[in-house]
Structure 1
Amino acid sequence: MAIPVLIGAAVSVLLGVYAKTHEPTGFSINVAGFSSPQAVKTWLATVAFLLALFQLASASAMYGKLPFSAPSWIGAAHVWSGRLAVLVSVPVAVHCLYAFGFLQYDTRVLLHSLLGCFFYGAFVAKMLLLTRKGLPGWVIPVAGGLVLAGLTGLWLTSSLWFFQHHGLTF
């Protein structure tokens, strides 16, 4: 269990070091139909967050924590919703790393930078832990909870903030 956790921690640190040491370009790519790059990032992050909430619900069903039995398709839906969540989060992360780097000009932004590094490190650790046999039953749920906590913090410090200051704009 230690090796996947250490690799995840290394990913977090390496992302932070890269983001802090490279020269931010300030350049961003916009997507047609959106009013700004910030709106694109906000909505992609919101999709990732909603998929992560589905991950929580589907995992709860698979672990028998809901008052009904899990449908037969829930395992596949859990896997694919996780893949989609990461897929839609990658353009946001690449943009943040490339265009802005590791920012810390106020508490919200510093927390967002730290959570971004944490999220991807926790994700890598969880994916590596999934390949291990014989782990205690609490390991995967805790790893998934840490990934969800990281993404929730990212969403709160970015998308929610954007929606509060700019409204539900596209």
Structure 2
Amino acid sequence: MDVRTDARGGRVVLVGVTAGALLSVALGVYAKVHTPTGGAIALFGFDTMIQMKVWLALVTGVLVLAQLVTALWMYGRLGRPAPARIGLVHRTLGLVALVVSLPVAYHCLWSIGFESYTGRVLLHSLAGCLVYGAFVVKVVGLHAAAAPRWMVPVAGGTLFTLLVVTVLTSAVWYVGTQGLPQGGGY
């Protein structure tokens, strides 16, 4: 590999990480300084905001686990040859996971804000802000021809980890302590 390729790859990583970090910080600052409304913007057919957030977060978690399986399959880590369309399936699962996660994140930022009153809540707030920054890093790595080969798997693994932490510290915690939301709530 020549020095120019290494330098261009380094710049791609720097641009991706910088853009992702800026987005994460912007989300966190907005969520902290914005006065939370406490109300829902759209419930998408659910009875309450908590019901909508828990169910959509659980769906996101399942989609993220499916993404892990398809990524491992694409990279030859499952011991079986990947089908020709596994990349398309992986991208589609990622797009659906992102779209399903957006109403949850929007309501967290707008209605609740950045909270830190317990360790779990602080971890959730931090991971939630970092998720979309990690997504930006992965997208930069996917679309930049000079991106180092390790960038997408590392960004994808980071994104996966942050999403799992976010879902575990919210929806899974809620279901474990309160049960599945049936309506009512806030």
Q: Deviations over 1:16-58 (max 9, x none)?
A: 01001111111114343x4531121111011111111111111
- Matched residue type, 1:30: L
Following superposition, the deviation at residue 137 of structure 1 comes to 2.2
- Taking the aligned partners of 1:164 and 1:43, their CA distance within structure 2 comes to 13
Give the equivalent residue in structure 2 for 1:102: 114
Following superposition, the deviation at residue 135 of structure 1 comes to 2.9
What runs of 5+ residues in structure 2 fail to find an aligned partner? 1-12
Following superposition, the deviation at residue 129 of structure 1 comes to 1.4
Q: Is 1:36 aligned with 2:48?
A: yes
What runs of 5+ residues in structure 1 fail to find an aligned partner? none
The answer as to whether partners of 2:115 and 2:121 remain within 8 angstroms in 1 is: yes
Give the equivalent residue in structure 2 for 1:156: 168
Q: Is 1:136 aligned with 2:155?
A: no
- Taking the aligned partners of 1:76 and 1:87, their CA distance within structure 2 comes to 16
The number of aligned residues is 169
Q: Deviations over 1:46-82 (max 9, x none)?
A: 1111111111111111111111100112111111100
- Taking the aligned partners of 1:12 and 1:136, their CA distance within structure 2 comes to 23
- Matched residue type, 2:130: F
Q: Is 1:88 aligned with 2:81?
A: no
RMSD: 1.2
The answer as to whether partners of 2:54 and 2:181 remain within 8 angstroms in 1 is: no
The answer as to whether partners of 1:16 and 1:114 remain within 8 angstroms in 2 is: yes
> Structure 1 length normalisation: TM-score?
0.94
- Matched residue type, 2:17: V
- Taking the aligned partners of 1:30 and 1:63, their CA distance within structure 2 comes to 38
Q: Is 1:24 aligned with 2:36?
A: yes
- Matched residue type, 2:87: G
- Taking the aligned partners of 2:161 and 2:96, their CA distance within structure 1 comes to 18
Following superposition, the deviation at residue 11 of structure 1 comes to 0.3
The structure with the largest alpha-carbon Rg is: 2
Give the equivalent residue in structure 1 for 2:137: 125
Q: Deviations over 1:83-122 (max 9, x none)?
A: 0000000000000100011111111111111011111111
> Structure 2 length normalisation: TM-score?
0.87
- Matched residue type, 1:103: E
- Taking the aligned partners of 1:31 and 1:120, their CA distance within structure 2 comes to 22
The answer as to whether partners of 1:8 and 1:123 remain within 8 angstroms in 2 is: yes
